[in-house]
Chains A and B, each alone.
Chain A
């Protein structure tokens, strides 16, 4: 079935990230000088302002930092409402946004901040596999 939700427009410097997703890997930009990762991908390291940037494979594990349940939605996501959005703290320390999987949007109080999550990839198009995060069954 065709993917009908918004597909990101790929940038000029994020090719390694999108190539990674096609191989089932979550790639993070990392500064070759200060060794720290960052997110979203920059042209310059936001920690030490070096432009000597590379990529590393992340663990694909993280935790829920905070979340919300989207009820009033316009555009392509409207037919999916209600759904849970969440900011994820990666084990590596950076933070990503996701539509959270494996949770019940009608029982928001049952979702636990700090709960472990794992990344998975959805094939949106031949070029774009989109990372989503799912709560890990304990």
Chain B
């Protein structure tokens, strides 16, 4: 029995900035936002000045001013890479409540270009609002942790200890994600021509690549590139007036367990178990009803744990989805069909590419490959999407279904 918000809103369009990936010509995060917004409005035929709600990780006031619009609903939820799945949840609630009919969810982050021109912008992930004066920071800053890999490595070791898995088990996730990327011309690691380290990889290559934080080698880690993307979420009435296909939001949920990894009770679990339960319940569906999944793969271990939390695999067996080939191109349960944060694109926060790929798959507009290659379009009609933010901290889960036509 679906919940009250079941299909009360739809994603009606999804677009990216004109250029994404490891861009030679540096771009700003704002430019990535604006290009994506322009593109999604062109795609759907919804004029920019008809946007009523703006959802972003802290950018909304600047974006509204830049676009010259006066919104009725402003949301700046910034809880890490999962923020965009939470934005969909929030937009759905605002639409259901009758406050707005057209919501823009937008992302721009120049993770790669920032090395040349600076400026990640107000994305606010990583440390809590307290910064260096937060007691959680005070009690961890002495101990040599740096970027995300330095922390996430601890979760893989605990997972290995608890379930007898090996880092090689997770390496299959990196390999399969790369296989998907080779079907996607927009993926940063699509080919050797596109990136020196692009093209197909083997499990052995994943294991033999540069050690970052044992047991994580660099190919167990997502990239940091440039990405901008935007989706429009509307009421059913507006969706019916458009030429683009709606992808229905059947269920949505969000949760968090900890913010600082010090407070992570179980290093082999995330709050996705909770957010997924909320989303499945709203949809009146369960894991067995899902035909594909898009999960945040900041690291191979993130994807494995998330698959377990979403009920797609038993605890300790998430990696088998990839190792057995079920998640791979041609497999029975496609996962991360764009190539994931591991091989498609990850700019720092990956929640937006999840939404865009979900829209493309379920609207039948996933890219078709080039030069006669088989493309990445699957036949899936249902998809569970899960964003993970912070240090396996915050989660947003969506159950999306294709339109009945």
Task: Using CB atoms and an 8 Å cutoff, list the residues of chain A in contact with chain B.
Answer: 5-11, 13-14, 39-42, 65-75, 77, 80, 82-83, 85-87, 95-99, 108, 113, 124, 130
**How far apart are the CA atoms of A65 and B336 in the complex, in Å?**
31
- B73 on interface, CB distance cutoff 8 Å: no
- B140 on interface, CB distance cutoff 8 Å: yes
Interface residues of B in 153-195 (CB under 8 A from A): 153-158, 161
Pairs of residues from A and B, 10 with the lowest C-beta to C-beta distance, nearest first: A68-B153, A69-B214, A66-B158, A77-B144, A40-B139, A72-B212, A71-B211, A66-B154, A113-B161, A40-B135
- B4 on interface, CB distance cutoff 8 Å: no
Assuming the contacts A70-B150, A97-B145, asked whether A65 and B262 have C-beta atoms less than 8 A apart, the reply is no
Sample (27) of A-B pairs whose CB atoms are under 8 Å apart = A6-B141, A8-B139, A8-B142, A9-B133, A11-B133, A14-B135, A39-B262, A40-B136, A40-B140, A40-B260, A65-B267, A66-B157, A66-B158, A68-B157, A68-B214, A68-B215, A72-B149, A72-B211, A73-B144, A73-B146, A74-B147, A85-B150, A87-B267, A95-B262, A96-B262, A97-B262, A108-B214
Neighbour of B138 across the interface among A8, A98, A99, CB < 8 A: A8
- Chain A residues with CB under 8 A of B143: 85, 97-99
**Are A70 and B154 in touch, CB under 8 angstroms?**
no
- B213 on interface, CB distance cutoff 8 Å: yes
**Are A68 and B146 in touch, CB under 8 angstroms?**
no
- Chain A residues with CB under 8 A of B132: 9
Q: How far is the CB of A58 from chain B (nearest CB, A)?
A: 13
**Are A68 and B262 in touch, CB under 8 angstroms?**
no
Q: How far is the CB of A19 from chain B (nearest CB, A)?
A: 15
- Chain A residues with CB under 8 A of B210: 72
**Are A68 and B142 in touch, CB under 8 angstroms?**
no
- Chain A residues with CB under 8 A of B149: 72
Task: Using CB atoms and an 8 Å cutoff, list the residues of chain B in contact with chain A.
Answer: 132-133, 135-136, 138-147, 149-150, 153-158, 161, 210-216, 260-263, 267
**How far apart are the CA atoms of A96 and B260 in the complex, in Å?**
11
**How far apart are the CA atoms of A87 and B153 in the complex, in Å?**
11
**Are A70 and B213 in touch, CB under 8 angstroms?**
yes
Neighbour of B135 across the interface among A7, A42, A130, CB < 8 A: A42
**How far apart are the CA atoms of A74 and B213 in the complex, in Å?**
12
- Chain B residues with CB under 8 A of A87: 154, 261-262, 267
Q: How far is the CB of A81 from chain B (nearest CB, A)?
A: 8
**How far apart are the CA atoms of A77 and B138 in the complex, in Å?**
17
Q: Which residue of A lies closest to B150 (CB)?
A: A70
**How far apart are the CA atoms of A40 and B212 in the complex, in Å?**
27
Q: How far is the CB of B220 from chain A (nearest CB, A)?
A: 12
**Are A113 and B158 in touch, CB under 8 angstroms?**
yes
**Are A74 and B267 in touch, CB under 8 angstroms?**
no
| 14 more CB-based (< 8 A) A-B contacts, given A70-B150, A97-B139 | A7-B142, A8-B138, A39-B262, A40-B135, A40-B138, A65-B158, A67-B154, A68-B157, A68-B216, A70-B145, A72-B211, A85-B150, A95-B262, A108-B214
Assuming the contacts A40-B262, A108-B215, asked whether A85 and B145 have C-beta atoms less than 8 A apart, the reply is yes
**How far apart are the CA atoms of A83 and B144 in the complex, in Å?**
9
Q: How far is the CB of A89 from chain B (nearest CB, A)?
A: 11
**Are B138 and A11 in touch, CB under 8 angstroms?**
yes
- Chain B residues with CB under 8 A of A113: 157-158, 161
Most buried by A among B135, B140, B145: B135
Q: How far is the CB of A49 from chain B (nearest CB, A)?
A: 16
**Are A66 and B133 in touch, CB under 8 angstroms?**
no
Q: How far is the CB of A72 from chain B (nearest CB, A)?
A: 5
**How far apart are the CA atoms of A96 and B153 in the complex, in Å?**
16
